[in-house]
Amino acid sequence: MTPPPQDPDAPQPPQPPKPPAIPGGAPVVTQAPVVLPEGVEAPSLPSSSPRRIAIFGDIHANLEALETVLADAEEQGCDDFICMGDIVGYNADPAACLERVRAMGCPVVKGNHDEDAAGTHSLETMNPVAAAALEWTRRMLSEDQRTWLRRLRMVRQVEDFTVVHSTLDQPSNWNYVTNRFDAMSNFSYQFTQVCFHGHTHVPRVYIKKDKVTETPAESVAIEEGSKYFINVGSVGQPRDGDWRACYAIYDMPNELVVFRRLEYDIETTQRKILDAELPRMLADRLADGR
Ligand SMILES: [Fe+2]
Distance 33 CA to ligand 1 centre (A): 24
Give 122's contacts (C-beta < 8 A, 6+ positions apart): none
Mean pLDDT across the chain:
87
Residue 198 belongs to some domain of the structure: yes
Residue 34 belongs to some domain of the structure: no
Parallel, antiparallel, or unpaired: how do β-strands 227-231 and 194-197 relate? parallel
CA 174 to chain centre: 14
Distance 228 CA to ligand 1 centre (A): 21
- What pLDDT sits at residue 50? 57
For the chain (290 residues), the mean pLDDT of every run of 10, in chain order, is 43 54 38 39 44 96 98 96 98 98 97 96 90 96 98 95 96 95 95 98 96 90 97 98 98 95 98 97 96
- Taking the alpha carbons at both ends of the chain, their separation in whole angstroms is 23
- What pLDDT sits at residue 103? 98
- What pLDDT sits at residue 15? 57
Residue 26 belongs to some domain of the structure: no
- What pLDDT sits at residue 279? 96
Distance 201 CA to ligand 1 centre (A): 6
Residue 156 belongs to some domain of the structure: yes
Distance 38 CA to ligand 1 centre (A): 30
Distance 113 CA to ligand 1 centre (A): 7
Quote the pTM value: 0.83
Residue 221 belongs to some domain of the structure: yes
CATH code for the domain of 98: 3.60.21.10
Distance 92 CA to ligand 1 centre (A): 14
Residue 47 belongs to some domain of the structure: no
Distance 47 CA to ligand 1 centre (A): 31
Residue 236 belongs to some domain of the structure: yes
Q: For the chain, what is the domain count?
A: 1
- What pLDDT sits at residue 14? 52
For the chain, how many residues are written? 290
Distance 160 CA to ligand 1 centre (A): 25
Distance 85 CA to ligand 1 centre (A): 8
Residue-number span of the structural domain to which 157 is assigned: 52-288
Give the C-alpha separation, 179 to 33, whole Å.
Answer: 26
What percent of the chain clears pLDDT 90, i.e. is strictly above it?
78
Distance 50 CA to ligand 1 centre (A): 30
Residue 21 belongs to some domain of the structure: no
Distance 89 CA to ligand 1 centre (A): 8
Distance 39 CA to ligand 1 centre (A): 33
Distance 166 CA to ligand 1 centre (A): 9
Distance 281 CA to ligand 1 centre (A): 16
φ, ψ dihedrals at 196, nearest 5°:
-105, 145
Distance 112 CA to ligand 1 centre (A): 7
- What pLDDT sits at residue 217? 76
Q: How many Cβ atoms from other residues are within 10 Å of residue 244's Cβ?
A: 24
Give the C-alpha separation, 99 to 57, whole Å.
Answer: 15
